[in-house]
Structure 1
Amino acid sequence: MSSSATAGTLSQADRIGVVVLVGVGLVLAAITVVGAVIRLIETLGGGRIEVLAEFAGTPAEAPIGVDGAPVTVALDTAILSVSDLPLASVISLVIQQVILVAAVLIVAAMLGLLVLGILRGIVFSARHTVYVGTASIAAFFGIVLYPFFGNMAANGAFAALSDGTFENVILTVQPLTFIVAAFVAALATTVFSVGARLQRETEGLV
């Protein structure tokens, strides 16, 4: 006779660990959402818009020589402040933040439901597999699409500042996406680690 779920009694340490991990994740999610809202307000508020731009070792002058003398360095990243950012770039920035918020909220919701099940002593089940899979997919698309639209916005900033004479097409993954992915991976690892122990305990009683 088979069962679709593995149940058991969580120890106090397990419960504390799961709750702390979820608490940290919720704080990160809240910070991310607030930051995205602020970014949207800045983007749609008019005036100059700051855009993160990636460079491929582009030469630039930095005042780091003797008495502040300029020295040529290889520029990797910079913040471009543009007052006439093309509409396509503005839309890209908006989409970028919407994707970020959506991915974070989906991940937080799925993992929240997962934790509720864990606290009831159920770790391995078809429903929990769906939760973990949905969270992973949301995180994956966030990782892929967030830098993609950021790159589109940066290309528009380059075009606006150089009148289309400077091309610098580079695609990188932003650190914030790694935070989301790390949270998903860490919680999933914790869930299945606890689940494996509960399963061993259950099998030992059979």
Structure 2
Amino acid sequence: MTSTKTRAISLGDRGALIGFCIAGVAIAAYITVFSIIRIIELARGVDVPVLVEFIGSKTPVDLPLSTGDSISVGLDSAVITAPELPMIAIVPGIIAQIAQILTIVIVIGCLILLARSVLAGRVFSRRNTVLVATAGVTGLLGFAAVRFFDNMLANATVARITGNGVENAVISVEPFTFVLAAFVFALTSTVFVIGDRLQRDTEGLV
């Protein structure tokens, strides 16, 4: 005989999960609005601020000192205001913002659905495992795509403004951050898979 009983959670835990859901909706709304404003700014293509990353060892600049002298330092990043963006910069910039909206909405949506399931007393299930896996894969691929297209925007902007006179950073994704996120996602997914299996085995004994 099997049982599908759900387990009640405490009032404090319930309040924390509800607060998490409200915060998730607020974050998704804020980032969506911010990204839409950025898309409009990019589409205009005039006086657009763009964050650019440089190869510090190959981009020295003179830093003025209070004594009137200066020292040479490597420039890692800077915000450049482009008087006019070329289409080759506008398109990837807009794609990056769209990818950011989709990634945030899907990840937070999956986590809110997971929280609702937990509020109903069901923590481990195949549905929750799918939600965790979907959020993890979307987050990894989505943020990597945002980084990729943002770098395309930055590189195209520098090339247009400087006439290819400055060697800025190549298109890349931070490896440590990506590997760490992948590890956390794999660990969380494994926990839910094992938890679901253990729960079904336990219910089968009831």
- For 1:83, the aligned partner's letter is P
Runs (5+) with no aligned partner, structure 1: none
Partners of 1:42 and 1:54 lie apart in 2 by: 20
Structure 2 equivalent of residue 129 of structure 1: 129
After the TM superposition, which residues 12-91 of structure 1 pair with which residues of structure 2 at under 5 Å, given as runs?
12-57=11-56, 58-63=59-64, 65-67=65-67, 69-91=69-91
Runs (5+) with no aligned partner, structure 2: none
Q: Summarize the Cα distance change of 1:173–1:20 in structure 2 as closer, same or farther, 3 Å threshold.
A: farther
Structure 1 equivalent of residue 8 of structure 2: 9
CA RMSD of aligned residues (A): 3.2
Structure 2 equivalent of residue 169 of structure 1: 169
Task: Please report how far the alpha carbon of residue 50 of structure 1 lies from its aligned counterpart in structure 2 after TM superposition.
Answer: 1.3
User: What does the per-residue CA deviation read over 1:90-115, in whole Å, with 9 as the maximum and x for residues that have no partner?
Assistant: 00100000000000111122122212
Task: Please report how far the alpha carbon of residue 31 of structure 1 lies from its aligned counterpart in structure 2 after TM superposition.
Answer: 1.9
Conservation of the 8 A alpha-carbon contact between 1:143 and 1:173? no
User: What does the per-residue CA deviation read over 1:111-140, in whole Å, with 9 as the maximum and x for residues that have no partner?
Assistant: 222122111111111111111111111111
Task: Please report how far the alpha carbon of residue 144 of structure 1 lies from its aligned counterpart in structure 2 after TM superposition.
Answer: 0.9
Conservation of the 8 A alpha-carbon contact between 1:93 and 1:149? yes
1:154 aligns with 2:172: no
Task: Please report how far the alpha carbon of residue 83 of structure 1 lies from its aligned counterpart in structure 2 after TM superposition.
Answer: 1.8
Partners of 1:91 and 1:75 lie apart in 2 by: 27
User: What does the per-residue CA deviation read over 1:69-103, in whole Å, with 9 as the maximum and x for residues that have no partner?
Assistant: 43322111101111232211100100000000000
- For 1:170, the aligned partner's letter is V
Task: Please report how far the alpha carbon of residue 149 of structure 1 lies from its aligned counterpart in structure 2 after TM superposition.
Answer: 0.4
Conservation of the 8 A alpha-carbon contact between 1:50 and 1:79? yes
Partners of 2:35 and 2:97 lie apart in 1 by: 6
- For 2:53, the aligned partner's letter is E
- For 1:56, the aligned partner's letter is I
- For 1:62, the aligned partner's letter is L
Partners of 2:68 and 2:82 lie apart in 1 by: 27
Q: Summarize the Cα distance change of 1:143–1:68 in structure 2 as closer, same or farther, 3 Å threshold.
A: farther
Partners of 1:104 and 1:124 lie apart in 2 by: 23
Q: TM-score, normalised by structure 1?
A: 0.78
Task: Please report how far the alpha carbon of residue 173 of structure 1 lies from its aligned counterpart in structure 2 after TM superposition.
Answer: 5.2
Partners of 2:68 and 2:35 lie apart in 1 by: 37
Conservation of the 8 A alpha-carbon contact between 2:92 and 2:150? yes
- For 2:109, the aligned partner's letter is A
Conservation of the 8 A alpha-carbon contact between 1:6 and 1:124? no
Task: Please report how far the alpha carbon of residue 10 of structure 1 lies from its aligned counterpart in structure 2 after TM superposition.
Answer: 0.9
Aligned residue-pair number: 190
Partners of 2:26 and 2:67 lie apart in 1 by: 45
